[in-house]
Amino acid sequence: MSPVLTSPIKVGHIDDVQELRKCKPTVIPERFVRDMTERPVTACSAQDVPVINISKLGDGEKEISRLADACENWGFFQVVDHGIDFDLLERIEKVGMEFFMLPVEEKQRYAMAPGTVQGYGQAFVFSEDQKLDWCNMFALGLEPRYIRNPKLWPRRPAHFSETVETYSTEIRKLCANLLKYIAMSLGLKGNVFQEMFGSAVQAVRMNYYPPCPRPDLVLGLSPHSDGSAITVLQQGKGNSVGLQIFKDDKWVPVLPLPNALVINIGDTLEKTGGQCPRLHFEKLFSLIKSVLTNGKYKSVEHRAVTHEDKDRLSIVTFYAPSYEVELGPMAELVDENNPCKYKRYNHGEYNKHYITNKLEGKKTLEFAKIRPENSN
């Protein structure tokens, strides 16, 4: 689940952004202020990312073709008619918000230790001078059961654990179903990813973005691609627009649809199709999506921005291959015109690499790329 640290990590003081917000600061602490080139001032107008109707994917080639286009040209899409009860979507948002509204002392009982990715706090912080995100996170490992840390499952709010269990079971079914159709969109057998992934790894992370007095200076979540195969994002109902994806050399805000879920391809799927570690959940999913398809389906950089007056909640599920599997581009997707771009790698090793590196664009995907013989 998490790498064994060979030396202590010194992360310095990390302010809790919700507590900062209570103080209504007029000056943003320096660790949250981004360099000029990183500040969220370059986003274009919001665009409608592709929308896929899950219930129509089994009806013929039309919706499968739309899915293929979304994976290849966007790496992001929203799904509707996904089969998950709307009441369950509301309940997971309710317990998520109730958790973040607990007193900070209660939440810190489940604090995320430096260098790990489960618990409450900020993940991917590895130095005392690293810039921080304007976000509080709460993450839990779900499947296989051995990656769980029971001490981090909160007793409050009531029904939190049972709601997370029910929600995660339904999201797991959705991921398996989507991977079946993604395989078909590539001309592969529908069960190819299920057989390849083994006991798929699944984790959930809740992100809470309080209002920020200077949203032009900070980021809610640093730009990154996910290390998973598939990532499922639920954006809080009625929340401000916070998700942005990097497309055509610009940052594009994603307008959430009511009761829809946002899906994005991870690094893993991009690499499918070649010869290719245990990394962070998000980066792990991205690696799978990119590698297995040998770059045909792209994992896309994305980030979160904040709002001056409105808060935002997102619930993210990462679905990835078993840590024990060896992954690489699939033979069916490699030929003379599309040579192998990624080496084979052990997914557990990639996960380790992902978890022990800060979020930084698609840098982690470099781990699996094949280098030209004459490169330095």
3-state helix, strand, coil in the chain (%, to 5): 30, 20, 45
Cα gap 14→35, rounded to integer Å: 18
Instruction: Look at residue 269 and tell me whether its pLDDT is greater than 70.
Output: no
What's the pLDDT band for 338 if we cut at 50, 70, 90?
low
Q: Which one, of 216, 220, 173, lies nearest residue 314 by Cα? A: 220
Amino acid at site 38: E
Instruction: Look at residue 89 and tell me whether its pLDDT is greater than 90.
Output: yes
Q: 32-367 adopts what CATH topology? A: Jelly Rolls (2.60.120)
The structural domains of the chain, with segments of one domain joined by +, span: 32-367
Cα gap 66→147, rounded to integer Å: 36
Instruction: Look at residue 280 and tell me whether its pLDDT is greater than 60.
Output: no
CA torsion angle for 183, 225, 100, 39 (degrees, to 10)?
Answer: -150
- Structure confidence by residue, pLDDT tens digits, 147-197: 999 999 999 999 999 999 999 999 999 999 999 999 899 888 888 888 888
Amino acid at site 189: K
Token pair, residue 331, equals 């033979």
- CA-to-CA separations, 175 to 261, 263, 314, in angstroms, rounded: 11, 9, 18
What's the pLDDT band for 101 if we cut at 50, 70, 90?
very high
Output 3 or 86, whichever has higher pLDDT.
Answer: 86
How many Cα atoms occupy the beta-carbon half-sphere of 303 within 13 Å?
25
Q: Which one, of 202, 251, 242, 226, lies nearest residue 363 by Cα? A: 226
Which residue has 């052990």 as its token pair?
346
pLDDT the model gives residue 268 = 64
What's the pLDDT band for 43 if we cut at 50, 70, 90?
low
**Residue 248 CB partners (closer than 8 Å, separation 6+):** none
- Structure confidence by residue, pLDDT tens digits, 299-329: 788 999 999 999 999 999 999 888 776 665 5
Residue 205 near residue 137, CB atoms below 8 Å: yes
Instruction: Look at residue 91 and tell me whether its pLDDT is greater than 90.
Output: yes
Instruction: Look at residue 98 and tell me whether its pLDDT is greater than 90.
Output: yes
Share of the chain above pLDDT 70, in %: 74
